[in-house]
Structure 1
Amino acid sequence: MACLITGRCLTKAMVNRHLCVFVGLLLIVIVYLKTWSNIFPFPLEYATQNLRRYRTSRLTSHPSLTGEAHHHIAYLKVHKTGSSTAQTLFMRYGMDRNLTFVVANNKSWFPNIISLNDTVISGYNIIPPPHGHHYDILCFHVVYNRSAFEGIMPKDTKYIGIVREPFLQFQSTLRYFNPETVFGDGRNLSTYLKSPKLFENPKEISFTNNRMAYEFGFPAPLFQFYDSLKVEQYLEKLGKEFDFVIINEYMEESIVVLRRILNWNVKDVLFITKNISSKKPTIDDADLNERKLYHRYAKLDYALYDFFLERFWQQIYIYGQDILKEISYFKSLRRTVEHFCITTPGKGLDVESSPWSAPFRITFEDCRRMLGPEFWYYTQIMRRQYH
């Protein structure tokens, strides 16, 4: 028998039983943590595992840290990726500097959407810039096509995109649209994921068939027949064409990198989160089998996300320790500003100087613009550019 300090003794059978329970609980915890990390890769672990590979990876040039601020931006606003948060930065920046936006020639539906299934087409789905001006910023919904974008944007345009973990993007789509339009009457998510293509109408615009890849302009045949070589080739093409792609799960980190690439001030990139669902994703929100089924279906979206997630950590690594300090500073400052704007914006908030910024002041007007919805910005842009 084995005796405890208390003097109570355990038989060998009891010891073995307790040991089995302990080992079982330990295994459950290990499996849980492993599963969670597969769904949401932790930054430090992910970066550490890949730093050695990053030394010789695709991105070899050091992002710009000096020079003039970049005013010409083409932002690919991808549906249900948290894209409105970043879009507000570009609209606010452009309005403050009287820049010219690409806007939709569209009066039959949402006027802030250029196209759900096509790229920009001069003389068709976009309004020409005012006389004597050229476009400076593109940030409304449209499908990416490099040659079409280059046809309307200045040569020194910075190309920015955004992606989100595919299953979370899919869940967000389902919360936004009526599920019956996706599944049909009497069907559920599991039924849909077992044979998704049975529920896709080829004559209608799909928001569930690798939608992120669609808006990034992936070749149409890849949606029917996945070809890993052609997918890799197209991703390499995107990697050369986009200066930066924001990762939704690391929004604040992404915005700090974006600030450095664009040479903007810290005040320019402060934001208040937009269109956030009150239901936060957890490990219990989706059956792991459903994730597995969706991963099998959304191969293009997962390839796209993994490619730019890797590239994102590479860019963080290139900047070194200094950017980690700025990220910590920015997170703290952003939360302070968000709280201030929501609670007491009328008083004004003075922000002291930092290694990354001169001192500045947040006013009521600054808060109003950070909180402004997309349609408010669209109305202001149209009034200023064309009236």
Structure 2
Amino acid sequence: MRTYPSQLHKMKNSIAAQTNQEHREETEEAMQTCSRPRQKYVFIAPHKVGASTSCTIFQRYAISRKLPMMLPIQGVVLSWGISPTEEEYIHTPDEQYHALMNHFTYNKTWLRSKFPGDTAYISIIQDPSKQLRSAMNYYYIPELLKIQSENPLKTFLENPWRYKNRSEVNFAHCNVTWDPTRNFMAFDLGYPTDGVEDKERARRYVNELEDDFTLVLLLDHLDESYVLLKRLMCWELQDVLYVTKNNRSYSFKEYVPSDKEIAMLRRWKAVDYLLHDTFNESLWRKIAAQGPGFFEEVQHFKDVNERVNTYCAERKEGKTNLTVEASRWNSQFEVDAEFCRVLNATVIQLLEPLQNGPKDDKFRLVTERINMRELIDGQPTFKHQRERRIYLNRVKAAKELEAKKNETKRNDTNKLKRPTSVLGQM
């Protein structure tokens, strides 16, 4: 028998108690709201929440439907900390945009000036303790905090406040203060670092996000999230099939914090936990409104996704296509070599063919990971790759010049020390 989290048990029991009339009304309402696919969406992809897997779903959909997309001029980051300038994204001929699915710091005012009013806003978050664990590995945080232990996460969780003066860093190129250990997900969704201690401000902002977003997926309940996405967007089952992307391994990945450590972290990452608690409840409310057939569809979706993943992983040249039969939740479709290629493609593999403009790195954003490395090494941060490249070339040239000077100095010193010839003294 399948097991579910406690929320799921409650939701299933609540749903089972509904009358047939209520179920019919829900079904009729769902059919009315799902008359045609929604093809205008903004997917805000926060960092270190498994967003790459979801991003490829939105990329595939936009590419297959030829939707006008807002894309970074180069790279995978469209904005970080501040909204993009006109030079940093690819413009469509008519300045119409129906899809965005990149790393982007949420800015409601800016996005609504670029996208139609009926655009669906979607994002994804995960358990804040797991997000911190992933971020700690990816962003060199043990080095930043000067933690030297086999389990830097456990060491940090003993007292996060001990590291506050080191964990809070400033990116001078954009005048943004950021703490990768604290409320990272809230930051990506537009909440400023200086608001971490203001509980009322945080609650107002999270409530506003709940009004703004059609759906916030939860990595903790990914299959349920994708089936709900399919229903709310009126998409097909094959549109939300997925292969897990960027699944990294590191020494403390399996560490499970104690109750005491989680209590400490809830205080430290209070806004992220408020965000997660709010959208966890929101997800299950939306699921409850779907009626009793929802969990049957989730199981069907898992079965089909596993079949397709296995087929694509084992597929060889000349192998017969996989036919996924029609069901209550999907029409029949074929899985061939091209389907597998696109399903397995990474964010970069799907994105680069669309970025067919000049390969000049003048307006390509430097990732926050690279800038974090620079800060740890005592170097300045940069917004664009070109200015960083120019700076690094200057540093390299200066080092080479200094090395030549030192070599010349050593040679001159050696000449002075050379012994005088004894010829003529005999």
Residue of structure 1 aligned with 2:45, choices 77, 85, 89:
77
Once residues 314 and 81 of structure 2 are traced to their aligned partners in structure 1, the CA distance between those partners, rounded to angstroms, is: 40
Once residues 132 and 326 of structure 1 are traced to their aligned partners in structure 2, the CA distance between those partners, rounded to angstroms, is: 40
**1:113 aligned partner:** 77
**2:123 aligned partner:** 161
**1:137 aligned partner:** 99
Asked if 1:272 corresponds to 2:243, the answer is yes
**1:20 aligned partner:** none
**2:111 aligned partner:** 149
Given that residues 100 and 385 in structure 1 are in contact (C-alpha distance below 8 angstroms), is that contact kept between their aligned partners in structure 2? no
Once residues 335 and 264 of structure 2 are traced to their aligned partners in structure 1, the CA distance between those partners, rounded to angstroms, is: 47
Residue of structure 2 aligned with 1:207, choices 180, 189, 201:
180
**1:364 aligned partner:** 337
TM-score (norm 1): 0.78
Root mean square deviation, CA, Å: 3.0
Given that residues 76 and 162 in structure 1 are in contact (C-alpha distance below 8 angstroms), is that contact kept between their aligned partners in structure 2? yes
Secondary structure at the aligned position of 2:86 is classed as coil
**1:123 aligned partner:** 86
Once residues 13 and 201 of structure 2 are traced to their aligned partners in structure 1, the CA distance between those partners, rounded to angstroms, is: 27
Once residues 345 and 98 of structure 1 are traced to their aligned partners in structure 2, the CA distance between those partners, rounded to angstroms, is: 29
> Aligned letter for 1:127?
I
Residue ranges of structure 2 left out of the alignment (5+ in a row): 16-25, 172-177, 360-426
Given that residues 252 and 331 in structure 1 are in contact (C-alpha distance below 8 angstroms), is that contact kept between their aligned partners in structure 2? yes
Asked if 1:197 corresponds to 2:164, the answer is yes
**CA gap 1:271/1:283 in 2 versus in 1, 3 angstroms:** closer
TM-superposition CA deviations, 1:349-370 (whole Å, max 9, x none): 1010001111110111111111
> Aligned letter for 2:64?
D
**2:276 aligned partner:** 305
**CA gap 1:276/1:41 in 2 versus in 1, 3 angstroms:** same
Once residues 347 and 76 of structure 2 are traced to their aligned partners in structure 1, the CA distance between those partners, rounded to angstroms, is: 8
**2:72 aligned partner:** 104
TM-superposition CA deviations, 1:250-276 (whole Å, max 9, x none): 111100000011111111111111112
Given that residues 345 and 363 in structure 1 are in contact (C-alpha distance below 8 angstroms), is that contact kept between their aligned partners in structure 2? no
Q: CA deviation at 1:291?
A: 2.4
Secondary structure at the aligned position of 2:217 is classed as strand
**1:30 aligned partner:** none
**Identity among equivalent pairs (%):** 25
**CA gap 1:124/1:201 in 2 versus in 1, 3 angstroms:** farther
> Superposition pairs for residues 184-263 of structure 1, below 5 Å?
184=146, 186=148, 188-193=152-157, 194=159, 195=161, 196-204=163-171, 205-223=178-196, 225-227=197-199, 229-263=200-234
TM-superposition CA deviations, 1:51-76 (whole Å, max 9, x none): 8xxxxxxxx9x666521211111001
Q: CA deviation at 1:278?
A: 4.6
How many matched pairs? 333
Q: CA deviation at 1:49?
A: 9.2
**CA gap 1:126/1:339 in 2 versus in 1, 3 angstroms:** same
Shifted more, 252-261 versus 337-346: the winner is 337-346
Given that residues 200 and 206 in structure 1 are in contact (C-alpha distance below 8 angstroms), is that contact kept between their aligned partners in structure 2? yes
> Aligned letter for 2:43?
Y
Once residues 168 and 293 of structure 2 are traced to their aligned partners in structure 1, the CA distance between those partners, rounded to angstroms, is: 50
Residue ranges of structure 1 left out of the alignment (5+ in a row): 1-36, 52-59
Given that residues 105 and 127 in structure 1 are in contact (C-alpha distance below 8 angstroms), is that contact kept between their aligned partners in structure 2? yes
